[in-house]
A and B are shown apart, each in its own frame.
Chain A
Amino acid sequence: MKLNLKLKEYWHKLGSPRWFYQITTSWVTFFGICALLLLATGLVWALAFAPADYQQGNSFRIMYVHVPAAMVAQSLYIGMGVAGFVGLVWRMKLTDVAIGACLPLGMVLTALALFTGGVWGKPTWGSWWEWDGRTVSTLVLLFLYIGIYALREAIPDRDLRARASALVSLVGTVNIPIIKYSVEWWNTLHQSASFSLTEKPAMPAEMWLPLLVMVLGFYCFAGHQVLSRMRLEVLSREATSRWVLQLLQGKSAEAGLGQSSLIDHGRD
């Protein structure tokens, strides 16, 4: 019963932009530093020290960007779907902020996954692009991202925009299991997963350890990006509320800047 109350309290707090802004201040720094360290280590390890593959040679190293990009792109979409669900039912303002923050990064990472896949596919498969289950469902993911982005740009009314993008985000999540299981349900050119949470990787440790570092680095980078974007958006939405004014006053006093110019920058 006590846990239940605590969860409830947490749930209500989560809807408060002010609380969100305060609690995430240290998270952003944490994720930023972790991303920097992990990506720097992972890239050098993956590109310079990991052994070449016995069949593909060095071109297999593209996987160290391709796999994390695709994983994080799908995770961000799941995040948008969950945010959409919560937003539709509980009408929390923060969920729309979250959707808007996951969107651009997810779009770019999906495009990156498709691009790196093509660069790898040309020497390995012998083709830049093939219409198989995995590639097509990933292309659908890219179109979903682009569609929601366009939708959000096209609707000026904030509430309507929030509801429309929450709806599309939620419905679009049915594509995620399709991407994941495409390689098992159908004959595809794309190989099945080499690297997953549940199974032993299909490669030796000296190859998958750098991949793990890269995956964690990508996730930290995404955490940093999404939180930073959300915080900026929260500030601009709440620009007239007292806590933001106080916050900015404190900041501008530190930097010796006029407060009005800062507030104007905060608006979109």
Chain B
Amino acid sequence: MNPKRKQRLYLTVFLLLVSAGVTGLLILVSGENMNMFYPPADVVAGKIPPEQKVRAGGMVLDGSVVRSETSLAVEFQLTDHKGAVFPVAYSGILPDLFREGQGILVEGEMDAQGVFQAEEVLAKHDENYMPPELLDIDMQAKPNAYKAMPSIDPRAAKGDAL
């Protein structure tokens, strides 16, 4: 390799390393701010700023969903299945995938009573896909895995394609 090219090679590699380094540091410094939501453990530990709009996420605790009979208001609890649980109140239309056991993101603020007042509820879909026929087999193998679902969405239990 001739010297000029060698010099250009070093310069280019240096440039790439510097830009990668700067980006890496920026990401490192941003730290927790890059997270889209607070996990239940942080919420319970009081790590979220009070009376400020934040996002929190967790699994809907089995059997915790209470719907109002007269309005769209709904209350439920989010958990990480490791002991942290916090209550959420919401009024509005829930996403199709909202059901007990499902990963959910809520946006809103914590009120003085420790209830998360959600203005928006988003369903987090995981990376697993499955045809409904396989669900039955899976449920026999792991009877508890999806037991919460039919009570919320009867269509899924029957295996109907929506």
Contacts and interface: CB of A to CB of B under 8 A. Distances in A.
Pair from one complex: yes
Given A170-B12, A185-B34, A186-B34, A125 B95 contact: yes
Contacts of A131: 36
Given A56-B97, A89-B12, A124-B97, A191 B127 contact: yes
Interface string A112-142: 0000000000011111001111000000000
Contacts of B36: 130-133, 186-189
Question: By DSSP majority rule, is chain B's interface helix, strand, loop, or mixed?
Answer: mixed
A192 B36 CA distance: 14
Contacts of A186: 34-36
Interface string A177-188: 010000001111
B128 to A, nearest CB: 5
A97 to B, nearest CB: 19
Nearest to A173: B16
Interface stretch (A46-54, A99-107, A236-244, A250-258): A46-54
Interface stretch (B43-51, B65-73, B109-117, B118-126): B118-126
Contacts of A192: 127
B55 to A, nearest CB: 9
B161 interface: yes
Contacts of B20: 174
Nearest to B19: A171
Chain A interface size range: 35 or more
B131 A207 contact: yes
A125 B156 contact: no
Interface in A191-244: 191-194, 202-204, 206-207
A25 interface: no
B35 A130 contact: no
Contacts of A127: 120, 122
A167 B8 CA distance: 12
Contacts of B82: none
Nearest to B9: A89
Interface in A46-66: 51-60, 63
Contacts of B15: 167, 170-171
B161 A57 contact: yes
A52 B95 contact: no
B130 A54 contact: yes
A88 interface: yes
Nearest to B34: A186
A142 to B, nearest CB: 18
B39 interface: yes
A125 B126 contact: no
Most B CB atoms within 10 A — which of A54, A56, A88, A185? A54
A88 B23 contact: no
Contacts of B16: 85, 170-171, 173-174
B105 interface: yes
A220 B38 CA distance: 41
B131 A60 contact: no
A19 interface: no
13 contacts: A54-B134, A56-B162, A57-B162, A58-B161, A125-B95, A125-B125, A126-B120, A127-B120, A130-B36, A186-B36, A203-B128, A206-B131, A207-B131
Given A53-B131, A54-B134, 13 more contacts: A52-B132, A52-B161, A54-B132, A54-B156, A55-B97, A90-B5, A124-B95, A125-B125, A133-B36, A175-B23, A189-B37, A192-B127, A202-B127
Interface of A: 51-60, 63, 85, 88-90, 123-127, 130-133, 167, 170-171, 173-175, 178, 185-189, 191-194, 202-204, 206-207
| Cβ-closest 7 pairs across A and B | A57-B162, A51-B131, A126-B95, A203-B129, A52-B161, A132-B36, A194-B127
